[in-house]
Structure 1
Amino acid sequence: MTRNLIAALALVLTPAMAMAQVTVDAPGTRVQVGNNRDGRTAQRGQTVRISELMGANVKNNADEDLGSIEDIVLNADNGRVQYAAVSMGGFLGLGDKLFAVPWSAIRHQTVDGEHVLVLNVVKEQFENAEGFDQDNWPDMASPQWRTTNDALYGVDANRPVRNRNRDRE
């Protein structure tokens, strides 16, 4: 009986979780999952659906194109966006190279109604960084990998994530 009740609850709650809203705070963007069905949130910040960011242009401060958002990686423990997988090069998805860019290294802007993500790197530095292909993702949970990767973008992977609500008090 208990097993059936748990299974039924899981089926009922799954659509509610899928409809959860995502709140993105900028700068130092984070994602918070909430269940406000009317679109309101108690958190300050800009609400952006992940699907709206997929394919968004990524540029640097010199307004040079670096690529586009291929995927977004969440930290399963805290629900925050950890990395944006930025796709660069290739043609129609073939031969492109992916880069795991720490979300905290990205600034979100809206230009003429379009989402643009800005990264503070020189284009050549980005092009020469170690990337990966769609079929061979790195172990992003590895502390050693995170420290090495995040340092390329000026981010300290070991820095505690700031909780704006908790740290305000």
Structure 2
Amino acid sequence: MTTVTGHTKAIPASRVIGTNVYNTSGETIGTIEDVMLDKLSNGIMFAVIGFGGFLGIGERYHAIPWSTLDFDKGRGGYVVPFSKEQLKAAPSYSVNELTEDDGRLARDASYEHYRVEPYWH
């Protein structure tokens, strides 16, 4: 699936991890900590965005639908089309919770919260 600006080229996960993520107002909301892969569809379930915490302590993670991230060369990071309020109200998880039920709980809650068309339909 292409992004809003049409980006479709392959990129290694190692290059994505650690990249800043911004909201629509240009504020940094976190960094991509990981990506969750769907082995059955060969797609990306979601990006794992770290919010808050200090040195990894108390940090919670948000599952953001991969198709909503759009790389902005000027910022050197990804922009998501969500308001600060949407992001604050989004479900958050511990690392273990992200993988419960093969990641489906976090995936489904994320796609529903952000009202994104599920890639698996």
TM-score relative to the length of structure 1: 0.60
- Root-mean-square deviation (Å): 2.3
Aligned residue for 2:62, secondary structure, equals strand
> Percent identity among equivalent residues?
26
Q: Distance in 1 between matches of 2:53 and 2:33?
A: 13
Match of 1:155 among 90, 109, 116: 116
Matching residue of 2:92: 131
Matching residue of 2:58: 95
Matching residue of 1:57: 20
Aligned residue for 1:124, secondary structure, equals helix
Higher gyration radius (CA) = 1
Amino acid at match of 2:40: D
Aligned residue for 2:63, secondary structure, equals strand
Whether contact under 8 Å (1:108, 1:118) holds in the other structure is yes
Whether contact under 8 Å (2:90, 2:110) holds in the other structure is no
Matching residue of 1:26: 2
Amino acid at match of 2:2: A
Gaps of 5+ in 1: 1-24, 29-43, 161-169
Matches within 5 A, 1:103-118: 103-111=66-74, 114=76, 116-118=77-79
Gaps of 5+ in 2: none
Match of 1:71 among 34, 38, 61: 34
Matching residue of 1:14: none
Aligned residue for 1:93, secondary structure, equals coil
Q: Distance in 1 between matches of 2:28 and 2:104?
A: 28
Q: Distance in 2 between matches of 1:109 and 1:46?
A: 14
TM-score relative to the length of structure 2: 0.81
More RCO (CA 8 Å, sep 6+):
2
Whether contact under 8 Å (1:74, 1:82) holds in the other structure is yes
